[in-house]
């Protein structure tokens, strides 16, 4: 396996990237990680896709191994779309597939709808394509939590104490139900916590997955999904915060789509059911080509 890594100049600083290839001439897949303000860290196991085709990871500006500028004006979706375009140019990607996860699907959709040239297919993994619909889904999910946890979340949000340990502990219960159901929670994921940048997350999203107060709170591209005519794959976990109902709804708005649910997973099927996840993704990409 050939692995190349380095940095690319983008608006606001430098982003780290990693290019995996096993001498394949197939079209590369670019992985867009979740967040905002997370990193490729949790998704790095998808390098196994490079047994079949080139795989490109990068840490979006502000997190992971990339620069962490303090200019708050950088944290908006248009700049992240521009960042991906700058990476495409720097790596001379005439054609590429996009695999976006969570916020990465928001970015994938925004990118394709403004700069479609060269994108061969998109994988919307646990998609967030409507922040208002996401918020509605999480309101319903919260009602499935123990009553005392629900009360704590409401109290802290009303009192403005979402940075308290009490709120974080209640949020951890939500995560166990709807983000990653593996028990015990993987040590691997705990070790990657320092790659995140909570400031970017708070500015763009909010204090938690289900309390959306950031500048993405009105993002909704559902009316434009009919414009995505390239092959698309929608996936989610059965217990995903990106609910099967909403994920299927998005897929039904997209002309050339497939839909798959990982039955034993929440929001991280690439970790919860890695073998099936890789098989589904590889099968889709090979069929596209």
* Positions marked catalytic: 102, 240, 267
Residues 6+ apart with CB under 8 A from 27: 53, 54, 95, 96, 97, 120, 289
State the Cα–Cα distance between residues 222 and 130, nearest whole angstrom.
7
Whether the CB-CB separation of 50 and 22 falls below 8 Å is answered with yes
Please state, in angstroms and rounded to a whole number, the distance separating the CA atoms of residues 62 and 85: 17
Neighbours of 126 (CB within 10 A): 28
- At which residue do the structure tokens 């919860």 appear? 272
CB 170 within 8 A of CB 155: no
Asked whether the beta carbons of 226 and 255 are under 8 A apart, the reply is yes
């Amino acid at each position: 396996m050939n692995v190349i890594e380095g940095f690319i100049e983008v608006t606001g600083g430098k982003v780290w990237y990693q290019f995996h290839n096993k001498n394949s001439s197939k079209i590369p897949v670019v992985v867009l990680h979740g967040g905002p303000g997370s990193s490729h860290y949790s998704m790095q196991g998808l390098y196994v896709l490079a047994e079949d085709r080139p795989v490109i990871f990068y840490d979006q500006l502000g997190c992971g191994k990339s620069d962490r500028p303090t200019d708050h004006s950088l944290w908006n979706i248009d700049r992240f779309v521009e960042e991906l375009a700058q990476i495409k140019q720097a790596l001379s990607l005439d054609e590429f597939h996009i695999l976006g996860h969570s916020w990465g699907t928001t970015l994938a959709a925004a990118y394709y709808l403004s700069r479609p040239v060269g994108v061969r297919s998109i994988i919307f993994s646990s998609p967030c394509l409507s922040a208002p619909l996401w918020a509605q889904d999480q309101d319903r999910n919260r009602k499935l939590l123990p009553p005392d946890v629900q009360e704590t979340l409401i109290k802290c949000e009303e009192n403005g104490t979402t940075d308290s340990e009490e709120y974080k502990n209640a949020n951890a219960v939500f995560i166990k139900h709807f983000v990653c159901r593996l028990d015990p929670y993987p040590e691997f994921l705990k070790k990657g916590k320092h790659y995140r940048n909570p400031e970017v997350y708070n500015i763009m999203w909010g204090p938690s997955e289900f309390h959306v107060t950031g500048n993405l709170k009105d993002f909704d591209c559902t009316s434009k999904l009919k414009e995505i005519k390239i092959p698309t794959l929608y996936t989610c976990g059965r217990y995903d915060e990106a609910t099967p109902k909403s994920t299927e709804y998005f897929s039904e708005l997209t002309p050339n789509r497939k839909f798959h649910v990982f039955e034993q997973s929440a929001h991280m099927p690439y970790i919860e059911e890695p073998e099936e996840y890789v098989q589904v993704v590889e099968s889709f990409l090979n069929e596209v080509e």
